[in-house]
């Protein structure tokens, strides 16, 4: 079942809240804030706080469950960020992984030439004034680093600009050691680095980010079927994590957009407040990567068909999800400002329970009740991420939980001791129900795990 279709957590199309509000809520509530903030931040780098890391971990766990655990034909790995530099020669990144860059002589700002319109106006956030621009020159986006302590042993290397190359370089080892047969896939989640010329739109385009990628190796005769299969699977995943159906779409690439080696590509786009943008790509990469690594390493990566004895290089269908971009889509999709009767505004993050950073808040009405509340809290923590809060007015405590998207609040009151019941308040409807303590776990389980 799709989480978004759960009746109490519906994802009706609502107007999106402006980005600046989302960005300040994320900082104020500890989802995401500028890296090294006390030094003024560093452009293109972000830190995930206590709530952000839970959101991101939930997303990665759902991806891993769907893409690796549930599939006998996909295995997961975790490889190093720094690879042998030849990897990036073979992949084409050393020669081709660049964006055209222009400098403005007047304002000294640097832009991507492909993000300026013909009149020389900057179409990005930086403004729309006329610019006196230099000629475009190519700027390689890989971040370089040095390995080794002594001067003569020092070697240049790159922080990987994508996680997938080690899925190709490890192809033979992983296939043989895990006894997989074609068709099968290798998956990983990890950090990637790109020296983006103009990082922008919060975590949408940053210089350090995470990808969740899977390379599926198949026989050339099956490539089209597998491409269509993975296209549909990946679109469904984004529905299943609760993204609003009306704000996600598949966008096939035009032939002039395709990488030179690609046969077909389709993006999963989300409609952000700043427009429709890619959050994931599904690509038919053909045999390009395995052939290139065979050429550069001298190691044979082709296969022999057991039945026909035909030798062939497997074709590759890639699914490449940006973890941070998908987190941003989840945040944009969830944030709602609701006008209540009487005119007050309630800020609510309407996350599907499976992605919500905190699942339950335990709120004793008074500090005098903290002993029994702590016991309930400790029980619930065995299973879920729980937040405990005993200070301040209960209405304000509910609002704080609404703002961070906690689906349920459990209130312990003076009757709890006698009737062994607590009040459970649901985030979206604000309905409250008395629930017996001995049935609380089952009550929450039924609601929190629905659709997972």
Instruction: State the minimum distance, in angstroms, from the CB of residue 203 to ligand ATP.
Output: 7
Instruction: State the minimum distance, in angstroms, from the CB of residue 94 to ligand ATP.
Output: 16
Outline where 91-164 has alpha helix (H): 93-96
Q: Which is closer to ligand ATP, CB of 282 or CB of 380?
A: 282
Instruction: State the minimum distance, in angstroms, from the CB of residue 122 to ligand ATP.
Output: 17
Residue 439, phi-psi category: left (phi > 0), alpha (psi -120 to 50), beta (remainder): alpha
Instruction: State the minimum distance, in angstroms, from the CB of residue 278 to ligand ATP.
Output: 5
Q: Which is closer to ligand ATP, CB of 137 or CB of 191?
A: 191
Q: Which is closer to ligand ATP, CB of 101 or CB of 412?
A: 101
Q: Which is closer to ligand ATP, CB of 281 or CB of 407?
A: 281
Q: Which is closer to ligand ATP, CB of 324 or CB of 413?
A: 324
Q: Which is closer to ligand ATP, CB of 276 or CB of 414?
A: 276
- Measured in degrees and rounded to the nearest 5, phi and psi for residue 421 equal -130, 155
Instruction: State the minimum distance, in angstroms, from the CB of residue 273 to ligand ATP.
Output: 16
Residue 36, phi-psi category: left (phi > 0), alpha (psi -120 to 50), beta (remainder): left
H or E, element range at 168: helix 165-169
Sequence-distant (6+) residues with CB within 8 A of 103 are: 109, 110, 111, 133, 134
d(CA 387, CA 401): 9
d(CA 78, CA 215): 14
Q: Which is closer to ligand ATP, CB of 284 or CB of 390?
A: 284
The three-point CA angle 311-86-77 to 5° equals: 70
Q: What is the DSSP string of 241-263?
A: TT--GGGEEEEEPPGGGS-TT-S
Query: What's the distance, CA 10 to chain centroid?
Result: 21
Instruction: State the minimum distance, in angstroms, from the CB of residue 247 to ligand ATP.
Output: 15
Say how many CA atoms lie within 13 Å of 265 toward its Cβ.
20
Orientation angle between helical segments 370-381 and 440-448, nearest 10 degrees: 50
CA terminus-to-terminus distance, the chain: 7
By residue count, the chain amounts to: 452
Q: Which residues are at the interface with ligand ATP (CB under 6 A)? A: 162, 194, 196, 205-206, 209, 211, 278-281, 320, 322, 324-325
- Give the nearest residue (CB) to ligand ATP: 322
Q: Which is closer to ligand ATP, CB of 166 or CB of 401?
A: 166
Instruction: State the minimum distance, in angstroms, from the CB of residue 451 to ligand ATP.
Output: 24
Token couple for 147? 């390995």
Sequence-distant (6+) residues with CB within 8 A of 157 are: 82, 83, 85, 144, 145, 146, 147
Q: Cβ distance 243 to 11 under 8 Å? A: yes
Instruction: State the minimum distance, in angstroms, from the CB of residue 63 to ligand ATP.
Output: 12
Q: Which is closer to ligand ATP, CB of 46 or CB of 387?
A: 46
Q: Which is closer to ligand ATP, CB of 224 or CB of 278?
A: 278
Instruction: State the minimum distance, in angstroms, from the CB of residue 92 to ligand ATP.
Output: 12
Instruction: State the minimum distance, in angstroms, from the CB of residue 157 to ligand ATP.
Output: 20
């Amino acid at each position: 079942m799709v989480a978004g279709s759960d009746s109490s957590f519906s994802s009706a199309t609502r107007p999106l809240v402006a980005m600046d509000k989302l960005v300040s809520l994320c900082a104020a509530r500890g989802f995401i804030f500028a890296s090294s903030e006390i030094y003024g931040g560093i452009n293109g780098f972000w830190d995930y706080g206590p709530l952000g890391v839970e959101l991101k971990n939930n997303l990665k766990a759902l991806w891993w469950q769907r893409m690796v655990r549930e599939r006998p034909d996909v295995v997961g790995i975790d490889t190093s960020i720094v690879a042998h530099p030849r990897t990036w020669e073979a992949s084409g990144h050393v020669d081709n992984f660049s964006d055209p860059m222009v400098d403005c002589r007047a304002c000294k700002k640097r832009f991507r030439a492909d993000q300026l319109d013909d009149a020389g106006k900057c179409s990005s956030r930086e403004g729309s004034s006329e610019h006196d621009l230099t000629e475009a020159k190519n700027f390689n986006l890989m971040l370089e680093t040095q390995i080794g302590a002594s001067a003569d042993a020092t070697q240049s290397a790159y922080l990987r600009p994508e996680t997938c190359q080690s899925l190709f370089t490890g192809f033979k080892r992983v296939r043989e050691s895990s006894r997989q047969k074609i068709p099968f896939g290798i998956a990983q989640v990890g950090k990637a680095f790109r020296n983006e010329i103009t990082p922008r739109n919060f975590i949408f385009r940053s210089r350090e980010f995470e990808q969740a990628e899977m390379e599926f190796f198949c026989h050339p005769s099956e490539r089209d079927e597998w491409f269509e299969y993975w296209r549909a699977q990946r679109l469904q995943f984004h529905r299943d994590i609760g993204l609003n159906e009306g704000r996600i779409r598949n966008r096939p690439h035009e032939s002039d957009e395709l990488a030179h080696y690609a046969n077909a590509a389709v993006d999963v786009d989300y409609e952000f407040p700043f427009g429709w943008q890619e959050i994931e790509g599904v690509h038919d990469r053909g045999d390009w990567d395995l052939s290139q690594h065979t050429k550069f390493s001298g190691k044979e990566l082709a296969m022999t068909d057991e039945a026909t004895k035909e030798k062939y290089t497997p074709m590759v269908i890639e699914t490449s999800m940006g973890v941070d971009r998908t987190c941003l889509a989840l945040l944009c999709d969830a944030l709602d400002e609701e006008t209540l009767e009487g005119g007050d505004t309630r800020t609510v993050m309407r996350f599907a329970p499976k992605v919500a950073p905190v699942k339950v808040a335990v709120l004793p009405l008074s500090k005098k009740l903290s002993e029994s509340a702590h016991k309930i809290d400790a029980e619930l923590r065995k299973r879920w991420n729980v937040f405990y809060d005993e200070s301040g007015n209960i209405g304000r405590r509910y609002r704080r939980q609404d703002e961070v998207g906690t689906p349920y609040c459990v209130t312990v009151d003076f009757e709890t001791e006698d009737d062994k019941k607590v009040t459970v308040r649901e985030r979206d409807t604000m309905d409250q129900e008395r629930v017996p303590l001995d049935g609380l776990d089952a009550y929450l389980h039924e609601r929190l795990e629905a659709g997972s």
